[in-house]
Structure 1
Amino acid sequence: MTNPIKTRREGTILEVTLDRPKANAIDLATSRIMGDVFADFRDDPDLRVAIITGAGDKFFCPGWDLKAAADGDAVDGDYGVGGFGGLQELPNLNKPVIAAVNGIACGGGLELALSADIILAADHATFALPEIRSGTVADAASVKLPKRIPYHIAMELLFTGRWFDAEEARGWGIVNHIHPADKLMEEAWDMARLLASGPPLVYAAIKEIVREAEDEKFQDTMDQITGSKFETVKRLYSSEDQLEGAKAFAEKRDPVWKGR
C-alpha cells in the first residue's frame, strides 16, 4: 500500500500533499498518518511553515471516505493525534499553516482547509458542506463558520449544502487569495517563504493568543497576556529574537530571526 501522504521539505518549509486516488478522500488510517506528519512538523524546531494541498487538479479533498466507511471504518473511530485530517484538534500547533486548495473542497475537506491559517485557492476551486444531504452534521464547520463569516451566510451553507465557487468564498472571507491553477503552488510557496522569513516566536504567540481568546472576554485575555500566563508570550519577551528585533530596528537593518 502506497503512502497517501507525500511530503516535500525545503529549508524551514514543509509541503504536505494528500495523494489518495481517486478523490483524496480521508479514511481513518490516512487521518492518523496526517496527524503524525503535522505533529512532527509542530515539534521540529527547524520547520517554520507548512503547506497542505491535494494531488492532481480536480480534488483538494472531499472529506470522509464513505467507501471506507461502508467497509467498516467507524465514523467515531481513531482519527489520530490531530483529529480528522491531522490539523483540526492538534494541540499547541503554533506555526503557520497554508492551505493551497487545488480543486473541490467539500465536507471534511473544507473543514481541513478551515484548519489552516491562510487559504489560497485555484480559480476553479469549489466548496460545499453537503453533509446535510446525507443526514449527518458538518461538526467542525458548525463550530467554526458562524464565528468567521456572517452568521446567516454560515447557516445557509450548513443548512442547504449548496456549492459555491472561489470568488464567493473570497467574498465571505473564507479564502484569502485566488490564483490561476498553474500558479497556485508557486504562490503558496512564495507565501510560505515570506512567513518563514519572519519571527517564529511571534507567530507562536499570535497563534496561542488567538486560540485562547476565541471563547474569552477581551479583558480576561489581556490580563492573561500581561500576567505572563501564555507560555509563548513569556518565551518571546525573554528571547534573543525580541532583543534582535529591537537592535535591527535601531540599526536600520533586517533582523535575523533564530527562534530562540
Structure 2
Amino acid sequence: MRTDNGLSVEVVDRVAHVTLDRPERLNALSTGLIADIVAAFDGFTADDDVWAVLLTGSGERAFSAGVDLKEVNQADGAARPMTMPMAGTTRNVFETVLECAKPVVAAINGVAAGGGCEIALACDVRLAADHARIGLPEAKRGMGANFGCQLLPRIVPRGIAYELLYLGELISAQEAHRWGLVNRVVPGDRLAEEAREFCRRLVANAPLTVRRYKAMIGKGAELPLSAALRLSVGPNPYLSEDRAEGVRAFLEKRDPVWRAR
C-alpha cells in the first residue's frame, strides 16, 4: 500500500516494510507524510501481524533529507508559523516511532539529515549504507532539532553530540559507526538484503521477550539501577505460552513456534 503522501507499507512474514517514498524530494518529511507515518506506527503497536518494523527511504540518494523546507517556506510566506515541537493537535512523529511497542530497524540508504536523522535516531537499530551521510544541520537553517538534541547525547558521547549539533555538518557512515550512532555499515547494494536478514533473525525470536526488552530499556535507561531492576513493563514472557514452547522446542531440538501469547 502506498499513500498519496508517499508512504509505502507492506507486511511480509511479520515484518512491516515502511518506505519513505518521495525520491523526487529526497524523501523529505512533508506534513502529509508525517501524518501518514504517525498513523502507520500507531497501528503497528496493536497489529498482531507485525512483530518488527523496517524503515527505509526510496532510492539510493537519501533516507530522508528532513523536514520539507519548500513546504516550510511556503508556510512562512502565508504567515503560518511552524508548530512548536511537542505542541499542536497531532502527535510528534519522532516520539511515535520511538514509542512504537514493536522493534524498529532503520536501513539508512543515503543522506539522513535534520528530521531524517531524527527519525533514524528514533529507531532501535540503525544499519547504514557505506555512502550514507548523517547529521543535524539545523544550526545552518535556524531550526531547532528538538528531538535530536535530547536523544543524540543519549546515544553518543556528549562532546560528540555537542560537536554534531553546534557545527551542523553531516558525517560519514563510517564515522557514525565509530561513535555508535549506527550499528553496522554495509555496501549500498547489500543494505536492503542485510536489513531484511536482520529482521528475519529478529522475528525468529520470542516476540514477547523482544517487546519486553524494548519497554524495559526505554523505561529504565535513565533510572537508578535499583529502580530499573524492579520495573515490570511490556508483556510478561515469564508466564507466557511462548516460554513453555521455547523450553520444549530446545529439549526436542526443533525450532519453536511462537504465538506471541
Q: Counterparts in 2 of 1:30-69, with a 5 A limit?
A: 30-69=33-72
CA contact (8 A) 2:51 2:103 kept: yes
Structure-2 separation of matches of 1:249 and 1:75? 55
Name the TM-score, length of structure 2 as normaliser: 0.90
Query: Aligned-pair distance for 1:88?
Result: 2.6
Q: Counterparts in 2 of 1:152-163, with a 5 A limit?
A: 152-163=159-170
CA contact (8 A) 2:42 2:96 kept: no
CA contact (8 A) 1:63 1:110 kept: yes
Deviations, residues 45-66 of structure 1 (Å, cap 9, x unaligned): 0111111111111011011111
Partner amino acid, structure 2, of 1:42: T
Is residue 174 of structure 2 the alignment partner of residue 167 of structure 1?
Answer: yes
SS in 2 for 1:223: coil
Query: Aligned-pair distance for 1:90?
Result: 4.9
State the partner residue of 1:246: 247
Choose from 199, 215, 220 the match for 1:213.
220
Name the TM-score, length of structure 1 as normaliser: 0.90
Structure-2 separation of matches of 1:158 and 1:142? 7
Residue identity over aligned pairs, in percent, reads: 35
Query: Aligned-pair distance for 1:91?
Result: 7.5
Structure-2 separation of matches of 1:96 and 1:109? 19
State the partner residue of 1:2: 4
Specify every segment of 5 or more residues in structure 1 that has no aligned partner in the other structure, as ranges.
Answer: none
Query: Aligned-pair distance for 1:250?
Result: 3.1
Moved more, 245-254 or 150-159: 245-254
CA contact (8 A) 1:102 1:181 kept: yes
CA contact (8 A) 1:32 1:79 kept: no
Choose from 23, 27, 30 the match for 2:26.
23
CA contact (8 A) 1:33 1:80 kept: no
Q: Counterparts in 2 of 1:73-84, with a 5 A limit?
A: 74-76=81-83, 80-81=90-91, 83-84=92-93
Partner amino acid, structure 2, of 1:245: G
Deviations, residues 69-118 of structure 1 (Å, cap 9, x unaligned): 1222743175844x23xx43357522111101111001110111111111
Is residue 13 of structure 2 the alignment partner of residue 11 of structure 1?
Answer: yes
Structure-1 separation of matches of 2:216 and 2:152? 19
Partner amino acid, structure 2, of 1:18: L
Aligned length: 251
Partner amino acid, structure 1, of 2:12: E
Specify every segment of 5 or more residues in structure 2 that has no aligned partner in the other structure, as ranges.
Answer: none
Query: Aligned-pair distance for 1:153?
Result: 0.8
SS in 1 for 2:230: helix
SS in 2 for 1:57: coil
Structure-2 separation of matches of 1:157 and 1:128? 7
